Amino acid sequence: MFKECSLNDLSKMDISETEIKNDKLHEECGVFGIYSPSGGEVSKDVYYGLIALQHRGQEACGIAVSDTSGEKGNLKLKKDMGLVSEVFHKEDFSNLKGNIGVGHVRYSTTGGSVVENAQPIAMNYIKGSLALVHNGNIVNANELKEKQMYRGLAHYTTTDSEVLAYEIIGDRVNSGSIEEAIKKSASKLKGGFAVVVMSPRKLVGIRDPFGIKPLVLGVKNNFVDGKGEQGSLFDNEKFDKHNTYILASESSAIRAVGGKVIRDIKPGEIISITSKGITSDYDLCQEKKAHCIFEYIYFARNDSVMDGIAIHTAREMAGRALARKSKVDADIVVGVPESGIPAAMGYSKEANIPYVQAFYKNSYIGRSFIKPTDEERRDAVHMKLSVLEDEVKDKNIVIIDDSIVRGTTMKQLIIMLKQAGAKAVHVRISSPPFLYPCYYGTDVPTSKQLIASKHSNEDVRKNIGADSLEYLSIEDFKYMVGDLQICKACFNNDYPV
């Protein structure tokens, strides 16, 4: 059992940067695809689109572009470990010429953190070059991979994305079109996935039938009205080949490159963008959906709209629900920057307790931490966040965060607040306790590291030193996402696949 936390623990509470990072769940990817049928250069839009999706993966990134008017197989590729702004430099773009392109940002677990596993996966196959970007996790990848190996295939990477690419290429030999090959391959897949495939003359997107992973369609350029309304563009309605069409993990990436959001890709939809128009195949669609609730809780950008729900509204509503369910008599509400702030504002409004910006976040902290040796551990939380003392002194405080994984960061923040003179610190979490692993592409610590999966609520409260600790209930998700069908397996062990 945990011992209770006290102020004397400060000196032992040094937390490394890695521990801060590991105290959050991690999305595994962001995808971006773009096609300008009438020509022009798309690589810079891919670049800026990836910058806008950088929060979905910071380990590796890549861009592949091609020219649909050139010979089949003229693909240009660059990918490497690092942030988008670290990997790509001005001079790279003179080598990345083309009017069709895909890009990817990647987060991965330690083992597979090598450049070979970066995406796009790009190969030459029977029909020319193919580049594929993938967000999600194929649960049955190993079965498919083994079958591929018995056919004499070999794998350069250890990713399920390469397995998927080979499956599509293998099916392409006997298919009339790339869309048919993708459908055939997709029908064999289990798991959550949002994929964009660039073939010599087409940009094809697919989303898993449950809609676990997001994918959005957008358009850029010759749109006339400036009002930002979302259009439909099902099956060539209003298609204009002088426009540039975009598929991206989040709506904010489309807007960041000056584009307009059209609509979400439907779960199970295969959408094909060619110079002739946009067409969709819905054969894989099904009744049951299971949109990942963690996109709404934490992953997605606060300014994105996903499957019809504005992310920041969902988060504010979670805060309001939390206030109704777990009100506390406090002087101020504070949020843990940045992810806890929207819910904190909702809590503040619903509970009618003033919201106060009690933490300062150093935006230059980036990758600045020197790897600590045994002798010199660094108080990374302290470097990243500091407390505005006179805002919290002698106050009863409600602190809101979106989730607790290991609890190390929250423990440190409570010590900092109490050292600054806070009378009481009540913790409210705008999601339920995280208890079960995710099989669909979210990097989850082992359950041993999930503080809530091993300890009672009271034990956790004591360990982090909070005066009270309450969570959003699973039932309250309805206030966040209405009647959207969601996957909440990590909270209730009910897996859709």
Amino acid identity of 395? Answer: K
Rule CB under 8 A: say whether 366 interacts with a second copy: yes
When the beta carbons of 135 and 280 are compared against a second copy, the nearer one is 135
Write out the two tokens for 69. Answer: 């008017």
- Of 367, 374, 448, 483, the one binding a second copy by CB under 8 A: 367
Active site residue 29: yes
Q: How far is the CB of 21 from a second copy (least distance, A)?
A: 14
Q: Which of 5, 29, 31, 52 binds a second copy (CB under 8 A)?
A: 52
Nearer Cβ to a second copy, position 207 or 255?
Answer: 255
Whether 487 has a binding-site annotation, put simply, is: yes
| 438 marked among binding-site residues | yes
Asked if residue 198 binds a second copy (CB under 8 A), the reply is no
Whole-angstrom distance, CA of residue 348 vs CA of residue 316: 10
Closest C-alpha to 63, from 38, 35, 96: 96
Question: Toward a second copy, which CB reaches closer, 72 or 455?
Answer: 72
* Residue with Cβ nearer a second copy (307 or 470): 307
Binding-site string for a second copy from residue 126 to residue 165, where x marks contact by CB under 8 A and - marks none: x---x------------------xxxxxxxx-x------x
Which residue, 77 or 480, is less far from a second copy as judged by CB?
Answer: 77
Task: Answer yes or no whether residue 187 interacts with a second copy by CB under 8 A.
Answer: no
Residue with tokens 């002739």: 276
- CB environment 230-258: b (16+ within 10 A), e (fewer): bbebbeeeebbeebbbbbbbbbbbbbbbe
User: Rg of the Cα trace of the chain?
Assistant: 23
Nearer Cβ to a second copy (14/459): 14
Which residues, 6+ apart, have CB-to-CB distance to 347 below 8 Å? Answer: 319, 320, 322, 323, 333, 353, 398, 400, 428
Annotated ligand binding at 401? The verdict is yes
- Asked if residue 57 lies in contact with residue 213, where contact means CB atoms within 8 angstroms, the answer is no
Cis peptide before 120 (omega within 30 of 0): yes
Please answer whether residues 456 and 401 qualify as being in contact, where contact means their C-beta atoms are separated by less than 8 angstroms: no
Toward a second copy, which CB reaches closer, 95 or 447? 95
What is the three-class DSSP state of 93?
helix
Site for a second copy in 453-492 (CB under 8 A): none
307 within 8 A of 264, measured Cβ to Cβ: yes
Asked whether 200 and 128 are in contact (CB, 8 A), the reply is yes
User: For a second copy, what does the binding mask look like between residues 8 and 47, x meaning CB under 8 A?
Assistant: --x---------------------------------x--x
The one among 109, 142, 173, 222 contacting a second copy by CB under 8 A: 173
Out of 60, 169, 195, 247, the residue judged to bind a second copy by CB under 8 A: 169
User: Interacting stretch for a second copy, rule CB under 8 A, among 24-32, 241-249, 414-422, 469-477?
Assistant: 414-422
Structural contact between residues 438 and 490, judged by C-beta atoms closer than 8 angstroms = yes
CB of 185 to a second copy, least distance (A): 11
Site for a second copy in 372-391 (CB under 8 A): 376, 378-379, 382-383, 386-391
Tell which phi-psi region holds residue 154, choosing left (phi > 0), alpha (psi between -120 and 50) or beta: beta
Among 7, 187, 456, 482, binds a second copy (CB under 8 A): 7
235, 272 contact by CB (below 8 A): no
Which C-beta is closer to a second copy: that of 310 or that of 424? 310
Binding of residue 299 to a second copy (CB under 8 A)? no
Tell me which of 2, 13, 16, 48 binds a second copy, using CB under 8 A. Answer: 48
Which DSSP letter does residue 394 get? T
Q: Please, which of residues 54-93 interact with a second copy by CB under 8 A?
A: 54-55, 58, 77, 83-85, 88, 90, 93
Amino acid letter, residue 60: A
Closest CA to 318 of 335, 297, 332, 299: 297
- Of 322, 252, 360, 265, the C-alpha closest to 476 is 322
Identified binder of a second copy from the candidate list 125, 193, 210, 477, rule CB under 8 A: 125
Both tokens of 337, joined, read: 């920057």
Q: Report in angstroms how near the CB of residue 46 gets to a second copy at its nearest.
A: 12
Q: Does residue number 224 form part of the binding site for a second copy (CB under 8 A)?
A: no
Q: Which amino acid is at 347?
A: Y
Nearest approach in angstroms of CB 459 to a second copy is 25
Question: Which secondary structure element, helix H or strand E, spans residue 64, and what is its range?
Answer: strand 60-66
Contact (CB, 8 A) for 27 and 299 = yes
User: Which 313-352 residues touch a second copy, going by CB under 8 A?
Assistant: 313, 338, 341-342, 345, 349
From residue 345, how far is each of 232, 237, 313, 327, 427 by CA, in Å? 33, 41, 11, 14, 15
**Minimum distance between the CB of residue 66 and a second copy, rounded to whole angstroms?**
15
For a second copy, the closer of residues 379 and 459 by Cβ is: 379
Q: Which of 5, 29, 61, 285 is catalytic?
A: 29
Give dist(CA 387, CA 289) in Å, integer: 42
Sequence-ordered list of residues with C-beta below 8 angstroms from that of 148, at least 6 positions apart, any chain: 155, 163, 166, 167, 170
What residues form the annotated binding site for [4Fe-4S] cluster?
A: 292, 438, 487, 490
Any idea which residues carry the catalytic annotation? 29
What residues form the annotated binding site for Mg(2+)?
A: 339, 401-402
What residues form the annotated binding site?
A: 292, 339, 401-402, 438, 487, 490
